[in-house]
Amino acid sequence: MARCESCKFRERAERKPGSLIGKLWRWHTKWCPGWKAYQAELAKKNK
């Protein structure tokens, strides 16, 4: 399981998406292999 589910950085970014942390988080998710793996896990669970 990817650590994204319990990531404090992600939690802060979701609380304030317009903040610098939120912007950094969106940039980070575009290239992060861990985030892509986490999204694939979620998709598999929801099938």
Number of Cβ within 10 Å of residue 38's Cβ equals 19
The reported pLDDT for the residue numbered 4 is 87
DSSP structure class, residue 14:
H
CB 1 within 8 A of CB 41: yes
Task: Give tens-digit pLDDT for 14-45.
Answer: 999 999 999 999 999 999 999 999 999 999 98
pTM for this entry: 0.75
For helices 20-29 and 8-15, give the axis angle rounded to 10 degrees.
Answer: 120
